[in-house]
């Protein structure tokens, strides 16, 4: 193992190459770290990337830095047209991951004869970057799905009913962007076939498609994620199976379950039942006051769920609760006109009060034959 001597021209070149690529690798890692931190909120990935940067920093020896004084770089400032085509986060993540990998490979080759520790470190980090890139890109996919959760207030949960596929199509045509399929009955093979059809339908409407409880069916049909109850698979196990590109929602009805779900990394919460509901007859309704108390410090998306209908949704609106999950009033509608009317009323009632006029609400009620009296 030889020592570098900056009085020798070849050693100067080698030291400068290693110096430049250590800078290049750490800069690329910083880009990846900031995406993991600010865009994805992934503390685990941030810690991993930060450890990589610190390790390379500790091995950025003085002799490498001093080599900068021995030679002019006539290629400073050169660019390539591809650099200007990085117009989305996917391309930025991939290009910087590649930058880190390439820099580490150069370091590995040129440090082998004089710094075996740096050579081994560069090789080990380089192989881990391949997996890190996948995790960051998966997180980016989850980021896009999260936008749908953030930007949409109506969430439809299905029941076993006739013509379910057609009803879901009508609901999507009405503008609902989040669909949860419940597979409580029937054969798994039939449920999977239905799930695949509905997933394809939701894709065509750019809507979020989730499976209730069944992680296996969600994985098999390539759903966007799952919604889990308190007695279902735990979040960490579901995440290990589905990966970070999928959405995981959790049902919760008390502070303990809400806190644990958030700590375990759920993407959204369904909190309830708010009112009495036929789908959860054994559950005691929370009521508006308890719902407000439970949700006042929640920082992730959450939906009020349970017994929410056209004749009580105004109570939620009056208390600034806008995100709601609906079952009966959509799925049990008898025809597309009823579905469209129900969606219109729900959409109107969860808007900010400044967007609603007495006239457009009255017109909608007349057209849909809906009685507004219970809302007063």
DSSP string, 157-217: E--S-TTHHHHHHHHHHTT--EEEEE--SS-HHHHHHHHHHHHHHHHHTT-EEEEES-HHH
* Cβ proximity of 145 and 225 under 8 Å: yes
Task: Give the integer Cα–Cα distance in Å for 13 and 172.
Answer: 63
Task: Give the integer Cα–Cα distance in Å for 270 and 225.
Answer: 14
* Cβ proximity of 210 and 197 under 8 Å: no
What crossing angle do the helices spanning 116-151 and 89-111 adopt, rounded to 10°? 170
Confidence at residue 343, expressed as pLDDT on a 0 to 100 scale: 72
- Three-class SS state of 23: helix
Tokens of 265: 């990394």
Confidence at residue 208, expressed as pLDDT on a 0 to 100 scale: 97
Tokens of 370: 């809906």
> How do residues 4-33 score in pLDDT, each as one tens digit?
888 898 999 999 999 999 999 999 999 999
If you search the block for the tokens 């490498």, which residue do you land on? 64
Q: Is 151 exposed, middle or buried (0-12, 13-18, 19+ CB in 10 A)?
A: exposed
Listed in sequence order, the residues at least 6 apart from 322 whose beta carbon sits closer than 8 Å to its beta carbon are: 153, 316, 350, 351
Confidence at residue 79, expressed as pLDDT on a 0 to 100 scale: 63
For residue 78, the Cα-to-chain-centroid distance in whole angstroms is 37
In CATH terms, 9-143 corresponds, of 3.90.640, 2.60.40, 3.40.50, 1.20.1260, to 1.20.1260
Confidence at residue 245, expressed as pLDDT on a 0 to 100 scale: 87
For residue 68, the Cα-to-chain-centroid distance in whole angstroms is 43
Confidence at residue 73, expressed as pLDDT on a 0 to 100 scale: 66
Residue ranges matching CATH 3.20.20.70 in the chain: 152-375
Residue ranges matching CATH 1.20.1260 in the chain: 9-143
Tokens of 208: 């979020």
Task: To the nearest 10°, report the CA torsion of 186, 189, 195, 201.
Answer: -120
Task: Give the integer Cα–Cα distance in Å for 357 and 351.
Answer: 11
Confidence at residue 187, expressed as pLDDT on a 0 to 100 scale: 93
What crossing angle do the helices spanning 116-151 and 43-58 adopt, rounded to 10°? 160
> How do residues 84-142 score in pLDDT, each as one tens digit?
555 688 899 999 999 999 999 999 999 999 999 999 999 999 999 999 999 898 887 78
Ranges of the chain with pLDDT below 50: 352-376
Q: Does domain 152-375 have CATH number 3.40.50.920?
A: no
Confidence at residue 364, expressed as pLDDT on a 0 to 100 scale: 46
If you search the block for the tokens 């949700």, which residue do you land on? 295
Confidence at residue 375, expressed as pLDDT on a 0 to 100 scale: 42
Tokens of 160: 């076993």
């Amino acid at each position: 193992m030889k020592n570098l001597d900056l009085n020798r021209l070849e050693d100067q070149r080698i030291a400068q190459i290693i110096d430049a690529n250590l800078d290049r690798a750490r800069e690329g890692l910083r880009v990846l770290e900031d995406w993991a931190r600010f865009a994805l909120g992934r503390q685990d990935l941030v810690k991993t990337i930060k450890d990589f940067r610190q390790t390379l920093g500790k091995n950025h020896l003085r002799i490498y830095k001093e080599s900068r004084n021995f030679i002019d770089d006539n290629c400073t400032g050169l660019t390539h047209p591809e650099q200007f085509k990085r117009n989305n986060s996917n391309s930025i993540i991939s290009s910087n991951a590649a930058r880190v990998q390439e820099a580490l490979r150069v370091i590995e080759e040129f440090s082998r004869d004089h710094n075996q520790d740096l050579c081994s470190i560069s090789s080990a980090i380089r192989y881990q970057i391949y997996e890190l890139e996948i995790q960051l890109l998966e997180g980016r996919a989850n980021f896009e799905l999260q936008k749908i959760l953030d930007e949409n207030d109506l969430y439809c949960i299905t029941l076993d009913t006739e013509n379910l596929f057609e009803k879901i199509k009508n609901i999507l045509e009405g503008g609902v962007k989040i669909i949860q399929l419940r597979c409580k009955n029937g054969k798994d093979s039939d449920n999977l076939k239905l799930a695949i059809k509905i997933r394809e339908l939701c894709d065509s409407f750019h809507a979020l498609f989730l499976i209730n409880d069944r992680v296996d069916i969600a994985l098999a049909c390539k759903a966007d994620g799952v919604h889990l109850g308190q007695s279902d698979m735990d979040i960490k196990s579901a995440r290990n199976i589905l990966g970070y590109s999928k959405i995981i929602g959790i049902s919760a009805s008390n502070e303990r379950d809400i806190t644990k779900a958030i700590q375990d990394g759920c993407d959204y919460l369904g909190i309830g039942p708010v009112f009495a509901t036929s789908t959860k007859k054994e559950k005691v309704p929370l009521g508006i006051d308890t719902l407000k108390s439970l949700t006042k410090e929640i920082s992730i998306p959450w939906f009020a769920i349970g017994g929410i209908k056209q004749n009580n949704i105004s109570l939620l609106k009056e208390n600034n609760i806008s995100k709601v999950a609906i079952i009966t009033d959509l799925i049990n509608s008898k025809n597309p006109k009823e579905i469209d009317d129900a969606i219109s009323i729900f959409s109107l009632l969860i808007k900010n009060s400044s967007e609603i006029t007495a006239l457009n609400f009255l017109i909608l009620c007349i057209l849909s034959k809906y009685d507004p009296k219970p809302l007063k």
